[in-house]
A and B are shown apart, each in its own frame.
Chain A
Amino acid sequence: KAGVTQTPRYLIKTRGQQVTLSCSPISGHRSVSWYQQTPGQGLQFLFEYFSETQRNKGNFPGRFSGRQFSNSRSEMNVSTLELGDSALYLCASSFDTGITEAFFGQGTRLTVV
């Protein structure tokens, strides 16, 4: 069974640009969550999608947005990039049985210069 796939693995962007990250969940998993990981803040929840609907959102500015497609694949977009957005962005998928048991992808390392 293939795991969670995130693309690209690495990205370098300039301040002010925007970026789109992609996540393909484990087959059969309908819930996709996104997290930001930084050395100072650890892992912080961005948002969660299920059946193309955002069900939950963390405390991040509106520059961070996402969407989910009918095949459960998800994308995350960050507009007007800031230096502080440099982080490892992790996608996790769950079967959504009521227990939030998340399986993570390898992440996308975003560097904003």
Chain B
Amino acid sequence: TQLLEQSPQFLSIQEGENLTVYCNSSSVFSSLQWYRQEPGEGPVLLVTVVTGGEVKKLKRLTFQFGDARKDSSLHITAAQPGDTGLYLCAGATGGTSYGKLTFGQGTILTVHP
């Protein structure tokens, strides 16, 4: 059974601060996605990382996939209130695990003005 440990579970910061969310596993993933979810809505895909060591940037968000493809991080620079939400990492193992993503428990981020 693949597990994704996501930390921290809760993050409450002031506008302008930086933060990092971590996603760790003992399993190797063929790809890893990061999602952001608003209350009562479905998760929205932010990024997909595929190659070990890969770094992707999306404006103030930086995503990194570990060299061994077992862990990932999301770094937000100068957080804004609009960044508030639930952040989820999800890994795919490929092969015959068709359509199955293993999700972390999520990080609830609150950015105060």
Q: A residues bordering B, Cβ < 8 Å?
A: 4, 6, 31-33, 35, 42-45, 48-50, 55-56, 58, 88, 90, 92, 94, 96, 98-107, 109
A-side contacts of B101, CB under 8 Å: 33, 35, 43, 45, 92, 100, 102
Which of B33, B41, B98, B103 has the most CB atoms of chain A within a 10 A radius of its CB? B98
| Cβ 8 A contact of A45, one of B31, B88, B100 | B100
Known A-B contacts A31-B98, A48-B98, A48-B99; the reply to A99 vs B106 at CB < 8 A is: no
- If over half of A's interface residues share one DSSP class (helix, strand or loop), that class is named, otherwise mixed; here it is strand
* Interface size classification for chain B: 20 to 34
Residues of A within 8 A of B50 (CB): 99
Does B53 make an interface contact (CB < 8 A)?
no
